[in-house]
Amino acid sequence: MLEILILLLGAIAAGLIGSLTGLGGGVIIIPLLTLVFGVPMHFAIAASLVSVIGTSSGSAVAYVKEGFTNIRIGMFLEIATTGGAIIGALISGLLDANTIGIIFASILILTVILNLRGKPDHQEPIIDGSLEHKLKLYGTFPDNGALKKYSAKNTIPGFLMMIFAGAMSGLLGIGSGALKVLAMDNMMRLPFKVSTTTSNFMIGVTAVASSLIYFQRGEIIPVIVAPVLIGVIVGSWIGSKTLMVSQTKKLKIIFAIVVGILSVYMMYNGINKNFK
């Protein structure tokens, strides 16, 4: 009982940190489960995926109502992310825990770097006859009481990047939000608010696709998943309220250092074959 309570508190902290930094709770949950509680890597990944579904579903509703999320673009790119997620989940069954730990640490470092970079804010015009126009990958979003128009660009490179993001999500049990935003910001040149909210909308669907594979393999353990899911949702809610009064730039730097150290420790344990 005490271990479940400690796990619940750890999951709350993970959800809080993930919400404040924008990295997602999975980047903390998996090291917490594997390094602190000694949970086998594949079980930890499965628990993290379920928590991603919960947190994404809760926040995505608000963004859709506010008019920022582009559901059409999200649904189109989910073809790539769900396909990638299934591939990643299948590959995870072929890799040992230490190899996954090394890959996790590498992606974690990349995620921190991308999170600290300045975010571009594009607003591309709609071009008649373009691929984006034919697929209707454009829309509007509210800004200071007005609706601003925008259109996607470079759809094919963005789609391919989404396959990779989905594969990393299914393989590592994280939302891969930084990789999704990278595809939509830098490649598809969508407005920042649209890319982040649409990414959040997509993360839950991507996690569902891969979590079914883990469920079929018997790696979703209720006694682990339940406290993690509850804790991450509570922590994310606290983080969303704290974010309003926090100095997010300083927080991101502090947590980036913490997560960077954590990723190095994960890499060390993977190389020394300490994971189960």
Residue extents of the structural domains in the chain: 2-271
**How many Cβ atoms are within 10 Å of 128's Cβ, its own excluded?**
6
Q: How many Å is the Cα radius of gyration of the chain? A: 18
Alpha carbons within 13 angstroms on the beta-carbon side of residue 86 total 7
CA 214 to chain centre: 18
Banded model confidence at residue 250, pLDDT cuts 50, 70, 90: low
- pLDDT tens-digit map of 109-147: 887 777 776 666 678 888 888 999 999 999 998 887 788
Residue 169 in this model has a pLDDT that exceeds 70: yes
Q: Which of 48-62, 79-93, 195-209 has the highest mean pLDDT?
A: 79-93
Q: In residues, how long is the chain?
A: 276
Cβ proximity of 60 and 69 under 8 Å = yes
Q: State yes or no: pLDDT of 156 exceeds 90.
A: yes
Pairing relationship of beta strands 138-143 and 146-151 according to DSSP bridges: antiparallel
Q: What is the pLDDT of the chain when averaged over all its residues?
A: 83
Q: For residue 99, count CB atoms less than 10 angstroms from its CB and return exposed for 0-12, middle for 13-18, buried for 19 or more.
A: middle
Contacts of 23 by beta carbon, 8 Å cutoff, 6+ apart: 17, 111, 112, 115, 177, 178, 255, 259
Residue 189 reports pLDDT greater than 80 = yes
pLDDT digits (tens, 9 = 90+) for 5-62: 888 888 888 777 766 655 666 778 888 888 888 889 999 999 989 888 877 766 667 6
Tokens of 133: 């126009």
Q: What's the rounded mean pLDDT across residues 222-250?
A: 75
- Residue 209 sits at the vertex; the CA angle it makes with 205 and 215, to the nearest 5 degrees, is 125
- Give the mean pLDDT of 144-170: 90
What is the band of 171 on the pLDDT scale with cuts at 50, 70, 90? very high
DSSP 26-61: HHHHHHIIIIIS---HHHHHHHHHHHHHHHHHHHHH
Average confidence (pLDDT) over 225-229: 90
In this prediction, residues 190-207 reach a mean pLDDT of 83
Q: Residue 205: what pLDDT? A: 84
Average pLDDT over residues 205-212: 88
Spatial neighbors of 75 by CB under 8 A, at least 6 apart, are none
DSSP state of 118: P
Average pLDDT of span 203-225: 89
**What is the per-residue pLDDT for 42?**
92
